[in-house]
Amino acid sequence: MRKAIIAGNWKMNKTPSETGAFVESLKPLVKDAKCDVVVCVPAVCIAEAVKASEGSNIKVGAQNVHFAASGAYTGEVSAAMLKDAGVEYVIVGHSERRQYFGETDETVNLRARAAFEGGLTPIICVGETKEQREKGYTETLLKYQTITALTGFSAEEVAKLVIAYEPVWAIGTGLTASDEQANEGVKIIRDAIRASFGDNAADSVRIQYGGSMNPSNVKGLMAQSEIDGGLIGGASLKAEDFSKVVNYGE
């Protein structure tokens, strides 16, 4: 059985001082969660999030990582820096990075490798745009993005990863994928992993759904056979809302 994982993606929201207060208010609300709970915060908020979450079941994630160990890469942050700061997870290849910052399937793969080798668990995002879906490319695209992102990983390593199926048209739009569409997307990803890495990797890898997931639709999505959690943007910014998503089973 795969343990569910609900991760908040704050994107470019909240300051370091807001972070401490937020995590403090979240702690009691999610302390009995049955799933893994993660908050992926802006790089400058990591220290506050790690400090405030100490001794709780809340894990801290980052939103990006560079693939080099160190060097002349102004503005970038390495896996070793994140690890040393107390980070456990890192989002890689979010569609906003692909759309606005030139992230490609190849750099997503490099970043995922660097994260994993640096002792972090990458949350690798894949997903089709509205246009790709309308043209009937969803399956081909998801398979390609998934397998390219996993280049150089062994089956044993893939088993430990987290992947997020995030249809681009559902992100920040309020347009959630239906339970069936979300489950189907996750299944395409799992089947692609099964074909390339075998049963153990496919049955162990955790695959989240992301895209306008919130307290009112989380139950239906989490009841689907293939969906192992959620990557939550907008609804992760208020402790009350995020805790309702985390405690979806109640």
Which positions are annotated as active-site residues?
Answer: 94, 166
The minimum distance between CB 163 and ligand PGA, in angstroms, equals 13
Nearest CB to ligand PGA, comparing residues 27 and 94: 94
The minimum distance between CB 199 and ligand PGA, in angstroms, equals 29
Closest CA to 38 of 98, 89, 77: 89
Integer Cα distance of 10 and 233 in angstroms: 6
Nearest CB to ligand PGA, comparing residues 231 and 239: 231
Nearest CB to ligand PGA, comparing residues 78 and 212: 212
The minimum distance between CB 111 and ligand PGA, in angstroms, equals 16
The minimum distance between CB 51 and ligand PGA, in angstroms, equals 24
Specify the amino acid at residue 67: F
Structure tokens at 91: 């989002």
The minimum distance between CB 154 and ligand PGA, in angstroms, equals 27
Cα Rg for the chain, rounded, in angstroms?
17
- Residue 56 DSSP code: S
Chain residues in the site for ligand PGA (CB under 6 A):
9, 166, 171-172, 210-213, 231-235
Q: CA separation (Å) from 235 to 24, 57, 211, 242, 244?
A: 17, 19, 10, 6, 9
Nearest CB to ligand PGA, comparing residues 215 and 233: 233
Structure tokens at 143: 């398979």
Minimal CB distance residue for ligand PGA: 233
Structure tokens at 129: 């745009």
Residue with tokens 């190849």: 106
| 186 Cβ contact list (under 8 Å, min separation 6) | 165, 207, 209, 224, 226, 227, 228
What is the CB neighbour count within 10 angstroms for residue 158? 21
Nearest CB to ligand PGA, comparing residues 42 and 202: 42
